Amino acid sequence: MNYKVDYKVKNIMDVPSLGNCFLEGEIGARVDRFILERVSGKFALEEILREAENFFKTQYDDIYTFGYWRSEFWGKLMLSAVRCSQYKNDNVLKEELRKSCYTMLSYQREDGYLSTYRNSDNLYPVDVVKSALYSGWEANYCWNVWGMKYTLWALIEAYEYLDDQKILTGAIKLSDWIVAKFALDGTRVKDSGVMDGMPSSSILKPMLVLYRITGDEKYLNFGKDIVKEWSRKDNERPNLITNALSGEAVADWYGLSSKKLNEGHDLGSDWVPKAYEMTSCFDGIIEMYRVTGDEVLLDAAKAFYEMLKKYESNILGSVGYCERYQHGASYADSATEICDVLHWMRLCYELFRLTGEAKYMQSFEKAFVNAYMAGVYEDGKMSAFFVRSAGRHYRAQPQCESMYQHCCLNNVGRGLTNAAESCVTKSDTGYFVNMFTQSYVRFGDTDIRVGAGYFDSGWVGIAVRNPEKGKKLYLRIPEWSKNTKIRVGLGDDVVVPVCGDYYEVELNEDTTIMKIRFDMTTEVINCEWEPIPDGDYHSHRWGDGVFGLCNKEMMLKCSKVVLRRGPVILARSKKFGAKEEDMFSLDTLYGKKIDSIIARPIINNIGVLVTLRVHITVDGEVKEYILCDFASAANIDTNDPKFFSIYL
């Protein structure tokens, strides 16, 4: 793609083009099933995609007092489908996507407006009193600009893939309408939508991409107007850049007791730290840094990452708790939205491409092979809305009176393809193996294959064929692998002197074959429990009722331990014969003297990353468990409230 405007700051890391990187093994099989069922198959195209298109024809999102978010569904589907079509080199799907874009453009008004909201003036928060009279709770929902963000972004990525001027023209008309509308109304983008304009303001990213494609300064200036509202001295919310640089936990940014609800399902001041929408804004902040070179923007994104890692990292490898940044790291148990995992991965991905620092891929991998893959159901037809640490995952049920659409489910394909292109990357100095998930990657004439074994034996073979002259190989040694060994060719085993960073390997001119042995010592993580106060957000989101995720009995009632082996959290599951009375017993390993842990992989188990027979010696007594990776423990649609648990 030739852009009229070059980046002022270029990425250090290049990723392989989609179609030249492939996930293999069990994860690859799950990816292929999901693409077939939700993106490229007959049902996906004729039912799921058609329904999302039809929302723009009927324009029902604002027929009620508060607005729905059906406007996002087509954009998310198209963003995923464009990337999945490239990943699979699927020319049939490619043409179906062109048709879908043309269908969408047939619904575009002459002035450029394209939305599921019939009233084009409906951009701002609704009256919560009127909303409560209709819905029974105070929702100021207006998702119009948020939806237009996804529509615009999808049209832009479709244009980049299809090289179709008609689609670009539609994207330009929509963008011009948005820019002109805010100028006409004399309002800021942050005044629109909900949550102090965070969802609306995330339109920053596609606006900047369109600026680079067209060279039209009005899109850049529109973006700058968004960004300047995030560096305010008066801390008017959300003030993302100033607050990120403060280093304080996001839950404390606004002087609120944001771990508490007032009464009921409050969408007022306590709703501000909504994880997905907030993190998606940093996609645009990072893009603005590339475009302008303003170092403050990169500093803010880095600081935001460090803050989330410190205060919001949950046991599942994601960040936050149940849609919000609520001191998620302080809770012994966890529930995390798939969209939150995706945008945490994207933050890590974008920072890694800019800096090449290993820590970002460490976080990316932990999120991907645990929380994210746990949400991709084994049949490929469904995903979770939330994945949880025990009980069952919360299914992504159709939203907004739709048949097949859900905010998280429609986003899944993007995360899968982000992972595929992150496995192996390239810089001026060489090739970087960032994840050891089984994969195959091509850069021009160079082939790199990462073999199986990472999740079970810890032995991983890597082959590099036809490297560019002078290029080296850099292996990310995970921080948990304290005793890593490598054997190159027929040489001897060499102890790798680093962990948490890259290890350099010289490459032959033709083919280099190596074997890595990771330290698969099982790690014990203590999860210290304390009673949850009445009214706490944590309790609210686990409780029964319309906003509850599962039976309240599944909340922890005592301190327990969790085991991590290699990159994955381990779990007990009814898939492998675990019993409820054992999984949810108050007799735990916490506080007991663990003398030894011996974990042996069980071979030939299909449909899992790893299953293990684990013997734990506790106070001289040997206990036996059958454990599997967390991502495989409950990746099915079940109503069983006691199906699995990561706790011992």
Q: In this predicted model, what pLDDT tens digit does every residue of 526-541 receive, in sequence order?
A: 988 877 766 666 665 6
For residue 126, what pLDDT band results from cuts at 50, 70 and 90?
Answer: confident
Each residue's pLDDT tens digit, 177-187: 999 999 999 99
Q: May I ask the CATH architecture of the domain 430-517?
A: Sandwich (2.60)
The predicted structure's pLDDT at residue 256: 52
Q: Which residue has the tokens 């508490």?
A: 260
What pTM was computed for the model?
A: 0.96
Cβ atoms 389, 646 nearer than 8 A = yes
The predicted structure's pLDDT at residue 258: 38
Q: Is the pLDDT of residue 544 over 60?
A: no
Q: Strand 424-426's sheet: what is its strand order?
A: 424-426, 430-433, 472-477, 501-505
Nearest-angstrom CA–CA distance, 99 and 259: 47
Residue type, 291: V
For residue 641, what pLDDT band results from cuts at 50, 70 and 90?
Answer: confident
Which residues on neighbouring strands pair with residue 313, listed in sequence order?
319
* Mean pLDDT taken over the chain: 92
Q: Is the pLDDT of residue 218 over 50?
A: yes
Which residues on neighbouring strands pair with residue 572, listed in sequence order?
645
The 3-state DSSP class for residue 349 equals: helix
Domain boundaries of the chain, sorted by first residue: 21-261+273-426, 430-517, 522-645
Residue of higher predicted confidence among 567 and 536: 567
Q: Which of 122-131, 145-154, 410-419, 586-595 has the lowest mean pLDDT?
A: 122-131
Q: Is the pLDDT of residue 554 over 70?
A: no
Each residue's pLDDT tens digit, 580-627: 999 998 889 999 999 999 999 998 778 999 999 999 999 889 999 999
For residue 455, which phi and psi values (nearest 5 degrees)?
A: -90, -20
Each residue's pLDDT tens digit, 453-493: 999 999 999 999 999 999 999 999 999 999 999 999 999 99
Q: What is the mean pLDDT of residues 306-328?
A: 93
For residue 267, what pLDDT band results from cuts at 50, 70 and 90?
Answer: very low
CA-closest candidate to residue 323, choices 138, 528, 136, 537: 537
Q: Is the pLDDT of residue 266 over 50?
A: no
Determine how β-strand 384-388 pairs with β-strand 594-601. unpaired
> What is the CB neighbour count within 10 angstroms for residue 72?
27
For residue 263, what pLDDT band results from cuts at 50, 70 and 90?
Answer: very low
For residue 394, what pLDDT band results from cuts at 50, 70 and 90?
Answer: confident
Each residue's pLDDT tens digit, 19-72: 999 999 999 999 999 999 999 999 999 999 999 999 999 999 988 878 889 999
Nearest-angstrom CA–CA distance, 361 and 358: 5
> What is the CB neighbour count within 10 angstroms for residue 584?
18
Nearest-angstrom CA–CA distance, 598 and 613: 8
* Percent share of the chain, pLDDT over 70: 92
Q: Is the pLDDT of residue 260 over 50?
A: no
Nearest-angstrom CA–CA distance, 632 and 333: 18
Could you give the angle at the alpha carbon of 259 between the alpha carbons of 257 and 265, nearest 5°? 105
Pick the CATH number of 21-261+273-426 from 3.30.1330.60, 3.30.230.10, 1.50.10.20, 3.40.640.10: 1.50.10.20
The predicted structure's pLDDT at residue 280: 97
